[in-house]
Structure 1
Amino acid sequence: MKGYVFHGPGEAAWEEVPDPGVMEPGDAIVRVDAVTICGTDLHILGGDVPDVRPGTVLGHEAVGEIVEIGADVRSVRPGDRVLVSCISACGRCSYCREGMYGQCRGGGGWILGHTVDGTQAEYVRVPHADLSVHPLPASVADEDAVLLADIFPTAYEVGVLNGRVRPGDTVVVVGAGPVGLAAVATARLFAPERIVAVDVATARLEAARKLGAEAVADARETPEQLIADLTDGLGADVVIEAVGLPETFEMCTRMVRPGGRVANVGVHGRPATLHLEELWSRNITLTTGLVDTRTTPTLLRMAAADRLPTAQLVTHTFPMERMQEAYDVFAGAAETGALKVVLGGPQREVVPVGEA
């Protein structure tokens, strides 16, 4: 089979790799029908995740069909169409028993495309399959379902739920990339007074408006002043950081009100300064986190009921063999307007950002 193989910072290729097989009783082998590319994959290629070994197949999000299972797998069987979660969970360790699957100490957590071969291939071995794949309703299309493998649970759990968004809140989402846009969409479920999106790309800000942001701000034009004007100088109740840069993190801490919450979602490759000399007396809550995917079943039910705007985030589709082109388009989002690219499944016309 073929897979997209990491060979070191800046080097990867779609090439022949060995077919996966069942190695443990809890494994499932999935024929991959649709995958997407994550910003974390770009961080790996940029050298920001040094524990990914050269020779690893990248990717941690997929939709496909079960073709083989280990002796201990009970929740799925060959022929089932499933969502492959970005997080694998043993279900037995103390963290899994608390629903903190991202911190699994039983051989799970974020392993696909990280410490074991991932999903950007024709087939993938999924460890701990009983808790790491989810049967899919026929009503949810592949390109919609694959967005529930990572970006929607990440935005919802690490951004909206950790930030404790409540009715009447002012919510600011810094970064209108795919995860930031998913945070805009899922924050609306809690009836905040307003959602403000901050980014540097006009097209992404327009996409945020279409997903429910009442106001948008260019990150280069002191958005802190806009938030102050909207809140009588207090600041936002919740600020969600969805970029992963020192500048954007520090911006978030300047926009939050006393007693407010900053929920960091972005993947940081460089140190960021926490200005405790300014924040210590303001009763600020700061949260960080790796997604646990404990809300994936809920999000799947919402997608089946057409209550999540998944299709609006897919801007480009490709056949699997054009993986390198898809990476180039995704990495060059400033020029291409890419939000999420999906590989596999039916191809369709590119949808301009903000017009979905």
Structure 2
Amino acid sequence: MKTMLAAYLPGNSTVDLREVAVPTPGINQVLIKMKSSGICGSDVHYIYHQHRATAAAPDKPLYQGFINGHEPCGQIVAMGQGCRHFKEGDRVLVYHISGCGFCPNCRRGFPISCTGEGKAAYGWQRDGGHAEYLLAEEKDLILLPDALSYEDGAFISCGVGTAYEGILRGEVSGSDNVLVVGLGPVGMMAMMLAKGRGAKRIIGVDMLPERLAMAKQLGVMDHGYLATTEGLPQIIAELTHGWRGCCARLFR
């Protein structure tokens, strides 16, 4: 039996490395040799706090003891029966949520908002990318262009994908003002995507001046403010004609 090293997060500031069996791909599945696997901010919570749950479901922990890592990128080395869209040797990234594929949100291309029972996040409810190999569903793969590195692909898996769905569902277009509160990796990407969609005005708010400076340097923000700015709600209201121009699509 071929084995591999894999990382688990039992809590208590611990990363547990275990030797486990290399999985075998089943129908519509592929085996990926990991080349890069990102550490998301949400992963950091689990390093320190064992099996965190939500207030809405305190008895159902988000992290259920699987191999961690939901920002995986690598190369296909084996394929199960039924795979049609990829081939061995392809460089791929894996979208971090495996949806059921049948609910309305999945059918619209929004698996992160899947409402079906089959929804599972890599690294949380099924084995993730912090290992030498990853077993993934073919439907969750995105081909990685040659111009992008494996590290680029790992960031796209979650950081870009999460922001992309928000921008699409908000139907951002050239007539919109966009307010992004929190300019971490996902927030920064939301501004980049909003700019790419032609948003009329992009406003960023953060606690850290260096994040505002980076957004300005990247050219993705028209107005930036510290969250502690006095009179900030009124400033934004004036920029967006009473907030409505900034929020209408989000609440539709």
Give the TM-score of the pair, scaled to structure 2: 0.83
In structure 1, the residue matched to 2:96 is: 86
In structure 2, the residue matched to 1:153 is: 161
- Is 2:206 the counterpart of 1:199? yes
Match for 1:182 among 172, 179, 189? 189
- Is 2:79 the counterpart of 1:76? no
Q: Contact 2:72–2:128 at 8 Å: present in 1 too?
A: no
In structure 2, the residue matched to 1:96 is: 106
In structure 1, the residue matched to 2:234 is: 225
Give the letter aligned to residue 5 of structure 2: K
Match for 1:140 among 138, 142, 148? 148
Work out the CA distance in 1 between the residues paired with 2:177 and 2:103. Answer: 38
In structure 2, the residue matched to 1:27 is: 29
In structure 2, the residue matched to 1:48 is: 52
Work out the CA distance in 2 between the residues paired with 1:74 and 1:90. Answer: 19
Identity %: 31
Work out the CA distance in 2 between the residues paired with 1:168 and 1:44. Answer: 40
SS in 1 for 2:180: strand
* 1:166-215 Cα shifts (integer Å, max 9, x gaps): 21322110000000000110000232222111000111111111231011
SS in 1 for 2:126: coil
In structure 2, the residue matched to 1:326 is: none
Displacement of 1:133 in angstroms is: 1.2
Give the letter aligned to residue 174 of structure 1: V
Q: Contact 2:173–2:197 at 8 Å: present in 1 too?
A: yes
Work out the CA distance in 1 between the residues paired with 2:69 and 2:169. Answer: 25
**Residues 101 and 61 (structure 1), Cα distance of their counterparts in 2 relative to 1, 3 Å cut:** same
Q: Tell me whether 163-172 or 79-88 shows the greater mean CA deviation.
A: 163-172
Give the letter aligned to residue 216 of structure 1: G
In structure 1, the residue matched to 2:58 is: none
In structure 2, the residue matched to 1:39 is: 41
Displacement of 1:118 in angstroms is: 0.7
Q: Which runs of 5+ in 1 are unaligned?
A: 239-255, 263-284, 287-356
In structure 2, the residue matched to 1:313 is: none
Q: Contact 1:31–1:66 at 8 Å: present in 2 too?
A: yes
Work out the CA distance in 2 between the residues paired with 1:132 and 1:23. Answer: 14
Work out the CA distance in 1 between the residues paired with 2:25 and 2:197. Answer: 43
In structure 2, the residue matched to 1:117 is: 127
Q: Tell me whether 163-172 or 92-101 shows the greater mean CA deviation.
A: 92-101
Give the letter aligned to residue 52 of structure 2: D
Q: Tell me whether 113-122 or 138-147 shows the greater mean CA deviation.
A: 138-147
Give the letter aligned to residue 228 of structure 1: A
Q: Which runs of 5+ in 2 are unaligned?
A: 54-60
Q: Contact 1:83–1:136 at 8 Å: present in 2 too?
A: yes
Work out the CA distance in 1 between the residues paired with 2:132 and 2:157. Answer: 17
Match for 2:215 among 187, 208, 214? 208
Displacement of 1:104 in angstroms is: 6.1
* 1:66-107 Cα shifts (integer Å, max 9, x gaps): 111112222222222111111224545665334342316363
Give the letter aligned to residue 80 of structure 2: G
Work out the CA distance in 2 between the residues paired with 1:177 and 1:63. Answer: 21
CA RMSD of the aligned region, Å?
2.3
SS in 2 for 1:40: helix
Structure-to-structure mapping, 1:122-133, within 5 angstroms: 122-126=132-136, 128-129=137-138, 131-133=139-141
Work out the CA distance in 2 between the residues paired with 1:161 and 1:136. Answer: 21
In structure 2, the residue matched to 1:4 is: 7
**Residues 205 and 53 (structure 1), Cα distance of their counterparts in 2 relative to 1, 3 Å cut:** same
- Is 2:60 the counterpart of 1:58? no
In structure 2, the residue matched to 1:346 is: none
**Residues 65 and 104 (structure 1), Cα distance of their counterparts in 2 relative to 1, 3 Å cut:** farther
Displacement of 1:149 in angstroms is: 0.9
* 1:96-149 Cα shifts (integer Å, max 9, x gaps): 334342316363x342111111112221111x22x1112222122222222221
Give the letter aligned to residue 154 of structure 2: V
Q: Tell me whether 190-199 or 89-98 shows the greater mean CA deviation.
A: 89-98
Give the letter aligned to residue 32 of structure 2: V
